[in-house]
């Protein structure tokens, strides 16, 4: 047990009134380097008799300095750290756009089946027909749900999927002998959209939204030219609103010879209801870790398959599966592609996130088509329930109309209270909630974006709404201390985020650096 108090520079304004600095089971956990003893080892293996190092001049002379702990000490250290983490299994996680939905345990059980869990990416294909069949079926249902012609399963996150989609667009333009230079991105877009376009050398041009928070086809038309390679549009958008001009936008983009990339992070609002392919979309990533319930946010890796329209399908990356008269064939190299296909290359070393594919497939099969549709409807219903429960106290930037799967508030309602969006979010931590997404999208001042997802019961939504109402009324009464000093009941208090960003301390040193020097 560590006898120490919380250092003030780590937001430790909370006086610990116990001898240890701990608060019951909330144990003040030091870093593993601070509790470990380099001379101690938790394993007991004799040096093999004929051991001779074979690394020549690369041989290490001094000790490696790893912190040594006994097995129970190591176990306790990591279990205690894990308890400091807020996750979807601890409570409601209303982070807008991120879709922190429940991770069904059935998915975990399926992913642990030895035939999926114990295979190796370098195993001969002939030994993994079941895994290939799962990839083919997952791809089939993703295409079915989106109305797409082809799918690339290998991208490892949404942002990686954006890169994949834009690379296919670039290859399709190159095949036409064109090298267009501009990608249009609405102002409300997620930061990864302009970043992905810039990474490929495109110039990003922002398209402003109209006053109702959606993009106007006429405005897009003004920005279109022979230099525009693509538009990247999120639908429903990051304000939680369905882009009602989406078909007109797709038509205008295609008339200009450009492609329509849809950011599919919000597909969980429309899965089973509308198919992006029918709306004229050429490429779209699907965040399996959002829409299809695979764990993320510290719980597991992302997975961002991309679906393609017929126009882009020939340029999809390897590897991919072909199902023809000869059965299932896995195309791993561009040279093996069928006539007419011109894969732009390969995006990842292996095949993608197999464990996440199994979980997403399990989620789809457990729900069925009607269940997927209901999950979307319930996600939208829950967000509107939260909107209706709070709109008399908190301000809605685009009026009291129905939203999709997330509800966006701004900070006009806090005017004159001396309390900011950040203070309000931090106060939610003291009440036991992970805050909503704040200050995104950027188009709304002091944004608070709440996405309850379909996972939450009415009882849990009622409790959440009641808590936010209590906090909102306390803010309006001017109870500043509750907000500006929050969080007061977390392992760490308010951090100096500006300083952490400007002067990050990225290495552990002994003794630790003096953080309070200017």
Ligand X SMILES: *Cc1c(COP(=O)(O)O)cnc(C)c1O
Q: List interacting residues with ligand X (CB under 6 A).
A: 97-98, 157-159, 190, 192, 234, 238, 263, 265, 287, 302, 304
In whole angstroms, the minimum distance from the beta carbon of 187 to ligand X comes to: 13
Closer by beta carbon to ligand X, 287 or else 417: 287
For tokens 């296909």, what's the residue?
341
Beta bridge partners of 286: none
User: Cβ-count burial of 393 within 10 angstroms (0-12 exposed, 13-18 middle, 19+ buried)?
Assistant: middle
**3-class secondary structure, 29:** coil
| Residue 232 beta carbon to ligand X: minimum distance, rounded to whole angstroms | 9
CB atoms within 10 A of CB 179: 11
* Nearer residue to ligand X within complex by CB, 304 or 493: 304
Q: Please, what is the minimum distance in Å from the beta carbon of residue 456 to ligand X?
A: 19
To ligand X, the closest distance from the beta carbon of 165 in angstroms equals: 12
CB 166 within 8 A of CB 197: yes
First to last CA, the chain: 33
> From the CB of 407, what's the least distance to ligand X, in Å?
15
Q: CA Rg, the chain, in Å?
A: 26
> Least Å distance between CB 54 and ligand X?
41
Pick between residue 185 and residue 419 the one whose CB is nearest to ligand X.
185
- Residue 192 vs 455, nearer CB to ligand X: 192
- CB of residue 451 to ligand X, shortest distance in Å: 9
The residue (of 36 and 268) whose beta carbon lies closer to ligand X is 268
Place of tokens 């760490």: 492
Report CA dihedral (283, 288, 292, 297) to the nearest 10 degrees: -140
Closest CA to 233 of 210, 265, 268, 201: 265
Please state at what angle helix 158-175 crosses helix 192-199, rounded to 10 degrees: 40
Written in H, E and C, the secondary structure of 140-173 is: HHHHHHHCCCEEECCCCCHHHHHHHHHHHHHHHH
- Nearest-5° Cα angle at 281, 279 to 284: 130
Q: What's CA 274's distance to the chain center, in Å?
A: 22
CB nearer to ligand X: pick between 27 and 95: 95
Three-state SS at 203: strand
Least distance between ligand X and beta carbon 83 (Å): 25
CB of 442 to ligand X, least distance (A): 12
Is residue 306 within 8 Å of 149, Cβ to Cβ?
A: no
The residue among 261 and 308 lying less far from ligand X, judged by its C-beta, is 261
**Sheet strand arrangement including 407-409:** 407-409, 448-450, 437-438
Least distance from ligand X to the Cβ atom of residue 139, Å: 19
Least distance to ligand X from the beta carbon of 373, Å? Answer: 21
Query: Using CA atoms in the order 384, 390, 394, 395, what is the torsion angle rounded to 10 degrees?
Result: 30
Q: In what order do the strands lie in the sheet with 182-186?
A: 150-152, 306-308, 283-285, 259-263, 228-234, 182-186, 203-207
Q: Where are the alpha helices (DSSP H) in 55-157?
A: 71-83, 105-111, 114-117, 129-146
Instruction: Considering the complex, state which of residue 77 and residue 289 has its C-beta at the smaller distance from ligand X.
Output: 289
Q: Which is nearer to ligand X, 145 or 306 (CB)?
A: 306
> Least distance in Å: CB of 160 to ligand X?
7
Choose between 29 and 451: whose C-beta lies nearer to ligand X: 451
Cβ at position 191, least distance to ligand X in Å: 8
Distances (CA, A) of 442 to 153, 287, 306: 31, 22, 26
Two tokens at 60? 């290490």
Angstrom distance (rounded) from CA 121 to CA 507: 34
Nearer to ligand X, 27 or 450 (CB): 450
Indicate the residue among 314 and 435 with the shorter CB distance to ligand X.
435
Q: In the complex with ligand X, which residue's Cβ is closer, 403 or 475? A: 403
User: What size, in residues, is the chain?
Assistant: 518
């Amino acid at each position: 047990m560590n006898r120490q108090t919380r250092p003030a520079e780590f937001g430790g304004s909370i006086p610990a009134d116990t001898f240890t600095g701990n608060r019951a089971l909330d144990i003040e956990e030091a870093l593993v380097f601070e509790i470990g003893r380099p001379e101690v080892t938790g394993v007991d293996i004799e040096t093999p008799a004929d051991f001779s190092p074979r690394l020549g001049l690369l041989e290490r002379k001094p000790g490696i300095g790893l912190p040594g702990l006994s097995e129970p000490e190591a176990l306790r250290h990591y279990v205690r750290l894990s308890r400091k983490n807020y996750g979807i299994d601890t409570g409601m996680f209303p982070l807008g756009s991120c879709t922190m939905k429940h991770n069904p345990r059935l998915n975990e059980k399926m992913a642990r089946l030895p035939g999926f869990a114990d295979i190796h990416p370098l195993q001969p294909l002939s030994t993994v027909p079941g895994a290939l069949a799962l990839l083919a079926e997952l791809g089939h249902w993703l295409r079915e749900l989106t109305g797409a012609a082809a799918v690339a399963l290998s991208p490892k996150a949404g942002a990686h999927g954006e890169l994949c989609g834009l690379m296919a667009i670039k290859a399709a333009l190159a095949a036409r002998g064109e090298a267009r230079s501009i990608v249009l991105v609405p102002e409300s877009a997620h930061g990864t959209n302009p970043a992905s376009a810039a990474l490929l050398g495109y110039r990003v041009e922002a398209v402003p939204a109209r006053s109702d928070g959606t993009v106007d086809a006429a405005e897009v038309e003004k920005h279109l030219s022979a230099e525009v390679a693509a538009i990247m549009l999120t639908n429903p958008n990051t304000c939680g609103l369905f882009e009602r001009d989406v078909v007109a936008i797709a038509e205008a983009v295609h008339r200009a010879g450009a492609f329509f990339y849809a950011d599919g992070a919000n597909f969980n609002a429309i899965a089973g209801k509308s198919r992006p392919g029918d709306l004229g979309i050429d490429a779209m990533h699907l965040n399996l870790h959002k829409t299809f319930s695979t764990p993320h946010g510290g719980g597991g890796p992302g997975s961002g398959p991309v679906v393609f329209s017929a126009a882009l399908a020939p340029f999809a990356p390897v590897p991919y599966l072909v199902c023809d008269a000869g059965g299932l064939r896995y195309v791993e190299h561009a040279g093996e592609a069928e006539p007419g296909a011109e894969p732009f290359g390969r995006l990842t070393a292996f095949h993608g996130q197999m464990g996440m594919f199994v979980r997403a497939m399990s989620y789809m099969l457990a729900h069925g088509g009607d269940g997927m549709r209901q999950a979307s409807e319930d996600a939208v219903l829950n967000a509107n329930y939260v909107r209706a429960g709070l709109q008399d106290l908190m301000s809605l930037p685009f009026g009291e109309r129905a939203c999709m799967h997330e509800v966006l508030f701004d900070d006009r309602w806090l005017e004159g209270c001396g309390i900011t969006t950040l203070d309000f979010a931090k106060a939610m931590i003291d009440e036991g909630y992970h805050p909503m997404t704040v200050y995104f999208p950027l188009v709304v001042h002091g944004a608070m974006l709440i996405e309850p997802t379909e996972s939450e019961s009415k009882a849990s939504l009622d409790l959440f709404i009641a808590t936010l109402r209590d906090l909102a009324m306390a803010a309006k009464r001017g109870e500043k201390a509750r907000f500006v000093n929050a969080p007061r009941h977390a392992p760490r208090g308010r951090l100096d985020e500006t300083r952490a960003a400007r002067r990050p301390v990225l290495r552990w040193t002994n003794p630790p650096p003096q953080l309070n020097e200017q």
